[in-house]
């Protein structure tokens, strides 16, 4: 009951900060965020802040998860690529709203833990694999929607190529010390990008992102992603 009340207050806070999509708010109310947070941080599960999940990664701030998800404009038919499974929390939100979710995580320990928990929670419209998220998932493409919970120095070309016509992609772009959350749309073969807000995410490590060891890691308690 304690967590249920805290989760309700979290959703109320998210709504007060401008997220209006009813389905997104319902998904945030349905997913038990505390199960995706390490035991020692569970009292902080429903505060509007990121939490460490190990391996130098974080579970994203709830308002950021809601904002990114709302911008995707998901439908029950959407086929989604998630870059950066992390704890699996945003993965669960996507599974609540989309038809199918493909999630890539470069760290096998996180991928395995997230896969097990999501299976326990009953999500069957999901495939998780270990790999380079910056390269996407070409054999499963195209995707109606793509969400990246880690920051790239530039827009990764493979993700654009794997975005379906009429698709939407949300990801943070910028330097290690700060990024901009960007919405990318593909219409009639043309790609447009629009800035949404300032943000701070962990780096997207990969062949089309940051090279391993090329940037200084940010204090994980200050980061807003990745999930």
Residue 59 lies in a domain: yes
From CA 87, how far away is CA 28, in angstroms rounded? 15
From CA 200, how far away is CA 219, in angstroms rounded? 11
Residue 10 lies in a domain: no
Residue 168 lies in a domain: yes
Query: What is the mean pLDDT of the segment spanning 20-46?
Result: 96
Nearest to 15 by CA among 2, 5, 6, 26: 26
- In this predicted structure, the answer to whether residue 137 has a pLDDT above a threshold of 80 is yes
For β-strands 100-105 and 51-54, DSSP reports them as unpaired
From CA 152, how far away is CA 83, in angstroms rounded? 11
C-alpha distance from residue 225 to each of 54, 56, 189 (Å): 13, 11, 30
Provide the sign of the torsion angle of the four alpha carbons 198, 199, 200, 206, taken in this order.
Answer: negative
Query: What is the mean pLDDT of the segment spanning 178-200?
Result: 94
Residue 14 lies in a domain: no
The domain of 149 spans: 49-222
- In this predicted structure, the answer to whether residue 218 has a pLDDT above a threshold of 70 is no
Residue 227 lies in a domain: no
Query: What is the mean pLDDT of the segment spanning 26-41?
Result: 96
- In this predicted structure, the answer to whether residue 183 has a pLDDT above a threshold of 70 is yes
- In this predicted structure, the answer to whether residue 219 has a pLDDT above a threshold of 80 is no
Query: What is the mean pLDDT of the segment spanning 10-24?
Result: 97
- In this predicted structure, the answer to whether residue 224 has a pLDDT above a threshold of 80 is no
- In this predicted structure, the answer to whether residue 82 has a pLDDT above a threshold of 80 is yes
Output the pTM of the full model: 0.92
- Scanning the structure block, which residue is given the tokens 């992390």? 86
- In this predicted structure, the answer to whether residue 217 has a pLDDT above a threshold of 80 is no
- Total domains present in the chain: 1
- At 58, which CATH number? 3.40.50.150
Share of the chain above pLDDT 70, in %: 93
Residue 103 lies in a domain: yes
Q: DSSP string spanning 60-81?
A: PPHHHHHHHHHHH---TT-EEE
Residues annotated as catalytic (active site), given as ranges = 60
Comparing 6-20, 44-58, 73-87, 157-171, the range with the smallest average pLDDT is 44-58
Residue 14 contacts by C-beta under 8 Å, 6 or more apart in sequence? 25, 28, 48, 62, 63, 66
């Amino acid at each position: 009951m304690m967590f249920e009340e805290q989760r309700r207050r979290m959703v109320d806070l998210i709504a007060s900060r401008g997220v209006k999509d009813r389905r997104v708010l319902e998904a945030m109310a349905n997913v038990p965020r505390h199960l995706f947070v390490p035991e020692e941080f569970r009292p902080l599960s429903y505060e509007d802040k990121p939490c460490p999940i190990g391996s130098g990664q974080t579970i994203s701030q709830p308002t950021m998860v809601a904002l990114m998800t709302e911008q995707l404009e998901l439908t029950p038919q959407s086929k989604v690529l998630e870059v950066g499974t992390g704890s699996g929390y945003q993965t669960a939100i996507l599974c609540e709203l989309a038809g199918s979710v493909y999630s890539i995580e470069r760290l096998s320990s996180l991928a395995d833990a997230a896969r097990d928990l999501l299976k326990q929670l009953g999500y069957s419209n999901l495939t998780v694999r270990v790999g380079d998220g910056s390269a996407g998932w070409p054999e499963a493409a195209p995707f109606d929607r793509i969400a990246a919970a880690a920051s790239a120095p530039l827009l990764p070309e493979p993700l654009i190529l794997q975005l379906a016509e009429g698709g939407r992609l949300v990801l943070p772009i910028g330097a290690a010390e700060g990024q901009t959350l960007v919405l990318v749309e593909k219409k009639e073969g043309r790609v447009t990008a629009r800035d949404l807000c300032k943000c701070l995410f962990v780096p997207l490590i990969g062949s089309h992102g940051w090279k391993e060891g090329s940037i200084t890691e940010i204090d994980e308690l200050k980061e807003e992603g990745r999930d």
